[in-house]
Amino acid sequence: MTTRRGFIKSGCAACLMVAAGATLLESCATPLPMLKVAGSKPGEIRVGTENFIPGKVNGIVVRSKQSEFDILVLKTGETYKALYLKCTHEGYNLTATANRIYCSSHGSSFDLDGKVLKEPALRPLKTFKTELIDNQVVIYLS
């Protein structure tokens, strides 16, 4: 049987390994900066394309007073998509990472298309129509 001392040792070793692994993964991960923007026009949010840096920043979390929750804007090639970071389970805010979107409250996860990967959420994330105008990504909220 495992002794208490042995259990603590294994637990600490596992913890250190997890921390080391996380640090390693973090160094490999693509950053996902947050951008606070003021709405220029009711019902739409504009994000400058200069915020997307090829090979480094392909996604930005956008925060605006026009929207109750943050919006994840992702660039794929020359197209942009906007995902509403509100969980479709109970309406909690979501945590976006470089390759997934998570609900810290009840464990749901979504892919970067907004599709449900893990319950309890059953429906995909809301998306907003986007348009590229004068080097600005326009997100239409309605």
Partner 1 sequence: MLSKTILMQLKIYILLIVLFSGLYITQASAQVLTQEDSLAAGLIYKQQATVLSGYGEAHYSIDTKRKSAEASLKRVVLFLGHKFNNKISLFTELEVEDALTSAAGGDEGVAGKGSISMEQAFLKFNINPSTYIVAGLFIPRIGYINENHLPTTFNGVNRPFLEEQIIPSTWREVGIGLYGQFPNVPGLNYSLAATNGLNSAGFNGTTGIRGGRQLGQASNGLNLGISGSLLYYISNFRLQASGYVGGSTALEQRVADSLELNSGPFGNAVTLGEINAQYSNNGITIRTIATMVHIKNAEAINRAFASNSPETMYGGYAEVGYDIFYSRYQGAKSLTLFGRYEYLDLGAKIPSNGIPNDANRKQYFVAGLTYKPIKGISIKADYVQRVTGEFNQALIVTPFPQQVPYFKNSGFVDLGVAYNF
Contact residues toward partner 1 (CB under 8 A) are: 1-2, 4, 7-8, 10-11, 14-15, 18, 21-22, 25-26, 28-29, 31-34, 61, 63, 66-70, 84-91, 93, 95-100, 102, 104-107, 109, 116-120, 122-123, 126, 141-142
The minimum distance between CB 115 and partner 1, in angstroms, equals 8
Query: Smaller CB distance to partner 1: residue 61 or 136?
Result: 61
Query: Smaller CB distance to partner 1: residue 79 or 93?
Result: 93
The minimum distance between CB 106 and partner 1, in angstroms, equals 6
Task: Determine contact, residues 86/80, Cβ cutoff 8 Å.
Answer: no
Task: Determine contact, residues 127/82, Cβ cutoff 8 Å.
Answer: yes
Query: Smaller CB distance to partner 1: residue 56 or 134?
Result: 56
The minimum distance between CB 49 and partner 1, in angstroms, equals 21
The minimum distance between CB 135 and partner 1, in angstroms, equals 25
Task: Determine contact, residues 142/43, Cβ cutoff 8 Å.
Answer: yes
Considering all CA atoms of the chain, what is the largest pairwise distance in Å, rounded to the nearest integer? 68
With the C-alpha atoms ordered 130, 44, 89, 120, is the resulting torsion angle positive or negative?
Answer: positive
Query: Smaller CB distance to partner 1: residue 62 or 137?
Result: 62
DSSP run (H or E) holding 127: strand 127-133
Instruction: Render 80-107 in DSSP notation, one character per residue.
Output: EEEEE-B-TTT--B-EE-SS-EE-TTT-
